[in-house]
Amino acid sequence: MITLSNFLLIGAGLFCIGIYMVLSKRNAIQVLIGIELIINSAILNLVAFGRYDKVNNAGQSFALFAIVLAAAAVAVALAIILNVYRQYKTINPAEVESLKG
């Protein structure tokens, strides 16, 4: 029997891996992947709880919204990363020291 806590535990694991990537990676694209893992764990929780809402579909609808928002965030973040690379010749977040190139 697949219970709700199975989904929540897998989501917690993905969330913590995402936190680790955001905090420790030295490459802006890998930081972005960490953020995507965090968003995915949140969507997993939404979908798991959404099973108990047959009439309104709140969980699944907001999971769809969250997927779209994540896609938009990735597009903007990749454009910013390309610009940062053009200015600094590196995408290590630790080496980008000033806001105005």
Partner 1 sequence: MNIGDVLFGVMGFVALASALLVAASNNLVRSLFMFFVTLFAIAGLYVFALADFVAVTQIVIYVGGVLVLMLFAFMLSGKETLNNLKQSNSRFISLGKVPAVLVALLFLIVLANAILKVQPDSLPWIKASAQSNNIIKPTDNMVNNIGINLMTRYLLPFEVVSVLLMMTLIGAAHLARKEEHKL
Query: Which residues in the 14-73 window bind partner 1 by CB under 8 A?
Result: 14-21, 23-24, 26-27, 29-30, 32-34, 36-37, 40, 43-44, 47-48, 50-57, 59-65, 67-73
Question: CB 96 → partner 1: shortest distance, Å?
Answer: 13
- Does residue 90 touch partner 1 according to CB under 8 A? yes
Which of 36, 44, 35, 59 minimizes the C-alpha distance to 12? 44
The size of the interface with partner 1 (CB under 8 A), counted in residues, is: 74
Instruction: Annotate 52-73 with DSSP letters as a single string.
Output: T-TTT-HHHHHHHHHHHHHHHH
Angstrom distance (rounded) from CA 82 to CA 63: 29
- Does residue 101 touch partner 1 according to CB under 8 A? yes
Query: Do 30 and 63 contact (CB within 8 A), yes or no?
Result: no
Question: CB 98 → partner 1: shortest distance, Å?
Answer: 13
Question: CB 42 → partner 1: shortest distance, Å?
Answer: 11
Q: How many CB atoms lie within 10 A of CB 74?
A: 15
